[in-house]
């Protein structure tokens, strides 16, 4: 899942591990553990998005805005999943939402973050 920027790749590995915890907890029918892991995932995701959005704002406003819209869609999906897990406590809905989210998120990561990373590598001051 490498995009070629070590800081972004590290964040992605962390988020994949946390999302795996969520899915394993849902498979085990443990909504409490899923909620705990989902809270940690959402926090890691929020911190990662702040960094990406700041980096993106520095070089191409059109691409930065499009990337921000992808982040907003991801935030909405995570909020729906959090609602199913922690508020409604609906295991079936949570599993369905998690399956959909994992598939969408991985596609977005490969598509959107690779574009961002390529743009950053070609920016006047490349990101290490």
pLDDT at 29: 97
pLDDT at 65: 86
Superfamily of domain 6-121: Hemerythrin-like (1.20.120.50)
Locate 27 and state its tokens. 């498979």
pLDDT at 114: 83
pLDDT tens per residue across span 117-127: 887 777 666 55
Distance CA 15, CA 17 (A): 5
The residues spanned by each domain of the chain are 6-121
Alpha helices in the chain (DSSP H): 6-27, 31-57, 61-82, 91-108, 114-121
Q: In sequence order, which residues have a C-beta less than 8 Å from that of residue 10 and are 6 or more positions away?
A: none
More confident of the two residues 57 and 50: 50
> Region 58-81: what's the mean pLDDT?
88
pLDDT tens per residue across span 9-30: 899 999 999 999 999 999 999 9
Mean confidence (pLDDT) of the chain: 90
pLDDT at 1: 63
Contacts of 106-113 with CB under 8 Å at 24 or more apart are 106/1, 108/70, 108/74, 109/1, 109/3, 109/12, 110/1, 112/67, 112/70, 113/3, 113/8, 113/12, 113/52
């Amino acid at each position: 899942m490498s995009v070629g920027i070590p800081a972004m790749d590290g964040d992605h590995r962390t988020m994949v591990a946390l999302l795996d915890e969520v899915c394993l907890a849902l498979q085990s029918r443990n909504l409490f553990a899923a909620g705990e892991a989902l809270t940690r995932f959402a926090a890691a995701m929020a911190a990662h998005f702040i960094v990406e959005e700041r980096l993106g704002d520095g070089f191409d406003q059109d691409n930065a805005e499009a990337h921000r819209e992808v982040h907003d869609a991801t935030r909405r999906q995570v909020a729906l999943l959090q609602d199913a897990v922690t508020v409604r406590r609906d295991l079936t809905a949570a599993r369905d939402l998690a399956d959909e989210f994992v598939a969408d998120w991985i596609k977005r990561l490969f598509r959107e973050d690779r574009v961002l990373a390529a743009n950053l590598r070609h920016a006047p001051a490349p990101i290490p």
